[in-house]
A = this chain, B = another copy of it.
């Protein structure tokens, strides 16, 4: 047809014919091409930059003439002079189609661009946040047709952006009139979409074209630590990250001791609620400060946490979670003003979203892991273990996903371990024990040197060697098992049985000396029989939970194991399997997902569709309650052995041969005592 031109967009490949004179942005919108624009085609936001091609494109069957687009115009020139623009780029709203043309949309001009995370698993997050900016030109007030400033802004949003029925709270109403006049009736509106069909909300308004910060905060609210990632809501980029200890620790180290605190102390839940809310507010301020932005630029926050933290943060007494049937006050996702939960540093109208809880013991953090790791999309059967004070366990593939929680206790985090400590400089994080000499060497956090490397003492003089962190104790016990210092029952041998003086008698049991720092006024670091028992209890609970899900699924092996949690990143697959923490599978299929719960929170923060998706997915996840499954006890007892009393570990045995030692002499010592009872 005369006057029509063929337009092909890349990388989408979308194509169509348009009348000459059609702006590129208009053509892109009509074809559904993902081309950003904040100012709605007014040539001021520059978000719609495109790269037109010239010459022959045999693949597309088109040759592009040099004059396929209208001449560079004054608006583009002004923009380039003021802000600069890559050569060859055009503003999509200004350049008009004059002939057949191929137009590339660079990644930074794509609204729903994919952001690759720097963390362990390099999966991309598609940007489609609930809160976005919209530039609008608003009609001035007219005494002959009186209407409110908000109503004229709402009309502009409806007309210019098809956003109908916007609502605003007092904080925005308070500034609206000043901003509209300061912007000479042109403003940028921060609009929040509700994915449950509620009215869109005007969170904030800025004079003219706003190019300042627009941020969201993804919070992984753990029992022990709270981690927050401040994300740019336009690009998905992490602007700053921060972490603090959960101040509730002073009320109880683990979840159940906090539930007890609430039960024993009237008002105790309120104290804990205030403590965590204040901590989150302070953390928000701190990460915003680190990123150099005003905390009021934080428009949204997504919080993931276990059910007890969920209730304590929301201000709900967690007492029901401490006893069967472990009823949650609410299991649904929540979307509410962040200020209602005491987060006052954020924007006054900032929204807070919590992911749904899966069950009374399987919280929004597990839902976030499911969102991040997406077992429901996998062909292979994947076991996902989020190791913390409680372990959340997911097992599934495309056909079905199961979930449970298992009370591992804090041993994996270095707590309740005689020389245990949190992961901090000076903590032993890696250990190797020579199977012949039974001599250990180790590395501490803060130095890359092994303890038998030259210069180790100097390198660690500052920090010292202060204890063993969570991943260190796992390696230590696994190495002790591989070196025959510990037998399958978990018993540490005597110096005679093991042939090393590092096995020292301690009452009726023995402990293994890893490092004697007493000459440097440091601690003597040992692994005691009690430490082995604590690790056995923890790993038995973890393994029993996984087995319970495998029973429910009707399988006796899994294809993949994903270790989630900040801690999971530091566990070696081999050592975990030697301990029997996880079921046998090909070692190369044991991977770490890093802080998958935090990643899930970031996905939900950056993508509104992900919220709806995980809400639907959680309803489909089948929950298994370990506390009422009789087989859990049986699995727990069988899992006590290292690696296991019954289950075989064929993949493990291909690379590791565990010594067939037995340290129980039937006489003295712990093993003997136990047998007599």
* A residues at B contact (CB < 8 Å): 140-144, 146-151, 165, 168-170, 173-174, 176-178, 196, 198-199, 314-317, 319-320, 324-332, 336, 340-341, 357-360, 623, 625, 627-628
Contact = CB atoms under 8 A, between A and B. Distances in A.
Nearest to A153: B330
Nearest to A152: B327
A307 to B, nearest CB: 10
A401 to B, nearest CB: 15
Contacts of A196: 165, 199
Given A198-B199, A199-B198, A173 B330 contact: yes
Given A141-B327, A170-B336, A177 B317 contact: yes
A320 B177 contact: yes
Nearest to A142: B325
A464 to B, nearest CB: 46
A196 B360 CA distance: 35
Contacts of A146: 325-326, 328, 331, 358-360, 623, 625
Nearest to A360: B146
A330 B170 contact: no
Given A198-B198, A336-B169, A317 B144 contact: no
A621 B411 CA distance: 72
Given A143-B625, A198-B199, A341-B170, A149 B336 contact: no
Contacts of A151: 330-332
A334 to B, nearest CB: 8
Nearest to A327: B141
Nearest to A168: B330
B357 A148 contact: yes
Contact of A327 (B165, B177, B360, B625): B177
A148 B625 contact: no
Contacts of A319: 177
Contacts of A199: 196, 198
B148 A329 contact: yes
B336 A176 contact: no
A552 to B, nearest CB: 12
Nearest to A150: B330
Residue picked from A174, A315, A329, A332, most chain B C-beta under 10 Å: A329
A319 B175 CA distance: 12
A341 to B, nearest CB: 7
A398 B178 CA distance: 39
Contacts of A141: 325-327
Contacts of A150: 329-332
B327 A148 contact: yes
B340 A149 contact: no
Nearest to A314: B170
Nearest to A146: B359
B174 A317 contact: yes
11 contacts: A140-B325, A141-B325, A143-B625, A146-B360, A146-B625, A150-B332, A169-B340, A173-B315, A177-B316, A177-B319, A196-B199
A314 to B, nearest CB: 5
B316 A174 contact: yes
A554 to B, nearest CB: 18
Contacts of A341: 170
A330 B148 contact: yes
A358 B151 CA distance: 13
A329 B176 contact: yes
B173 A143 contact: no
B329 A173 contact: yes
Contacts of A336: 169-170
Nearest to A328: B148
Contacts of A320: 149, 177
A625 B340 contact: no
Contacts of A140: 325
B144 A625 contact: yes
A172 to B, nearest CB: 9
Contacts of A144: 625
A627 B144 CA distance: 11
Nearest to A619: B147
A178 B262 CA distance: 14
B143 A324 contact: yes
A563 to B, nearest CB: 25
Contacts of A327: 141, 148-149, 177
Residue picked from A147, A314, A336, A341, most chain B C-beta under 10 Å: A147
Contacts of A329: 148-150, 173-174, 176-177
Nearest to A623: B146
Contacts of A328: 146-149
Contacts of A170: 314-316, 336, 340-341
A611 to B, nearest CB: 15
A316 B144 CA distance: 23
B177 A315 contact: no
Contacts of A357: 148
A320 B315 CA distance: 40
Contacts of A149: 320, 327-330
A278 B356 CA distance: 38
A674 B541 CA distance: 101
6 closest Cβ pairs, A-B complex: A148-B331, A141-B327, A146-B359, A150-B330, A148-B330, A148-B328
A176 B332 CA distance: 14
A138 to B, nearest CB: 11
A16 B214 CA distance: 62
Given A143-B627, A174-B329, A177-B329, 19 more contacts: A146-B325, A146-B326, A146-B623, A148-B327, A148-B331, A148-B332, A149-B328, A149-B329, A151-B331, A165-B196, A170-B314, A170-B315, A170-B336, A174-B317, A176-B316, A176-B330, A177-B317, A177-B319, A177-B327
